[in-house]
Amino acid sequence: MSYDITISTTIKRLSKQGILEVSIKILVVGCAGRMGRRIISVIENSDGVELGAGLDMPGGPYIGLDAGEVAGVGKKNIPISSNISQVVDDCDVIIDFSVPSVSLENFLTAHEKGKAIIIGTTGMSEEHYKTFDAMAKTSRAVIAPNMSVGVNALFKLVSEASKILGDYDVEIVEMHHNQKVDAPSGTGVRLASIVAHEMNRDLDKVAKYGRNGKEGVRPKNEIGIMTLRGGDVVGEHTVIFAGLGERVELTHRAGSRDNFATGAVLASKWIVKQQNGIYDMQDVLGLR
């Protein structure tokens, strides 16, 4: 079993489709943060895209400074703004890795202005997704808890493994840096949802978020989701399929934020060619 999901082969495939020939301007939300700076760096080193605007929180110390200089890519003559309505008109796509409430506001702005948006924010609620889905026919968005090409390959592999190993016990372990707010991670929840779907289980009923004390024998259909936090870990996810006499483990480890930034920029190039709809990285990478 193999999937054409490396960054290089994906870019070649999209180039043949003409997706990379367009020149698009990208608005980066949270451009002064760690993720925002890496996105600007990837934009700077990618063909067919350019930085259109940078947005940061109102009252922050970077408002008015040059977005390129703050990101370490040189002067771009693009002052960082705190008001998306003032800068969105000159951009084609918004990239947002912020917090759920801000991402929802930016989604609504993108809808109002007729702009595409890429949302990599985690911790979204069911109500957020209901809003996105309700506006799918008049919006263009790629919304995914993880923009990494490798993680999306993991999603696909876990889906296939779950079909084959349906009688095995499943445990999911995820670890991130000590500043991450949501737990478990959006990627960890997505992995659990994939397993539950393929094994015909109700995740709300079988999910087990940690264990403590004498809880008795592990229920047969339980899906364990364990959350670890510490240091500066960018992101690690392991799905364990444990059977009698053997164990299968599928793991993804992120060494830097560049893989998320690269995936977001790739999604930006893809979305400009699409019709209205709510998509995710599985669509972008052709893994459906």
Which DSSP string corresponds to 71-82?
HTS---S-B-BS
Q: pLDDT band at 9, cuts 50/70/90?
A: low
CA separation for the pair 128, 155 (Å, rounded):
22
- For the chain, how long is the longest CA-to-CA vector? 63
Residue 2 pLDDT: 45
Q: What is the DSSP letter of 24?
A: E
Task: Flag whether pLDDT at 19 surpasses 70.
Answer: no
Q: Which two tokens stand for residue 142?
A: 């790629």
Q: What pLDDT is recorded for position 215? A: 84
Question: Each residue of 204-253: pLDDT tens digit?
Answer: 999 999 998 888 899 999 999 999 999 999 999 999 999 999 999 999 99
pLDDT at 125 over 60: yes
Whole-number CA gyration radius for the chain: 20
Q: Domain 7-148+257-284: what homologous superfamily? A: NAD(P)-binding Rossmann-like Domain (3.40.50.720)
Active-site positions read 176, 180
pLDDT in the model for residue 10: 62
pLDDT bucket at 123, cuts 50 / 70 / 90: confident
Contact 165, 243 (CB under 8 A): yes
Average pLDDT rounded to a whole number, residues 16-28: 72
Q: Decide if pLDDT at 41 tops 50.
A: yes
CA dihedral (150, 152, 156, 162) in degrees, to 10, reads: 90
According to CATH, the superfamily of the domain at 149-254 is Dihydrodipicolinate Reductase; domain 2 (3.30.360.10)
Q: What is the pLDDT of residue 140?
A: 97
Q: How far is CA 11 from CA 25, 47, 145, 224, in A?
A: 19, 11, 21, 36
Q: What percent of the chain has pLDDT over 90?
A: 85
Q: Do residues 88 and 94 lie in contact, with contact meaning Cβ atoms separated by under 8 Å?
A: yes
Residue 38 has pLDDT above 50, yes or no: yes
Q: Which of 154, 104, 144, 131 is nearest to 268 (CA)?
A: 144
Cβ 31 vs Cβ 55: under 8 Å: yes
pLDDT tens digit sequence for 163-200:
999 999 999 999 999 999 889 998 999 999 999 999 99
Which has the closest alpha carbon to 76: 47, 46, 118, 43?
Answer: 43
Asked which of 4-13, 88-97, 179-188, 203-212 is least confident by mean pLDDT, the reply is: 4-13
- Give residue 1's pLDDT: 44
Packed helices 149-164 and 186-198: angle between N→C axes, nearest 10 degrees: 30
- Contact (Cβ atoms closer than 8 angstroms) between residue 117 and residue 107: yes
Question: CA–CA separation, 28 vs 230, rounded Å?
Answer: 27
Q: What is the mean pLDDT of the chain?
A: 92
pTM of the model: 0.80
Q: What is the mean pLDDT of residues 11-15?
A: 57
**Residue found under tokens 């992101």:** 235
Integer Cα distance of 250 and 151 in angstroms: 11
93, 120 contact by CB (below 8 A): no
Domain ranges in the chain are 7-148+257-284, 149-254
Structural contact between residues 178 and 230, judged by C-beta atoms closer than 8 angstroms: yes
DSSP 3-state of 279: strand
The pLDDT of residue 288 is: 78
Q: Which helix (H) or strand (E) holds 54?
A: strand 49-55
pLDDT (0 to 100) of residue 83: 96
Over residues 155-170, the mean pLDDT reads 97
Backbone angles phi, psi at 145, to 5 degrees: -70, -15
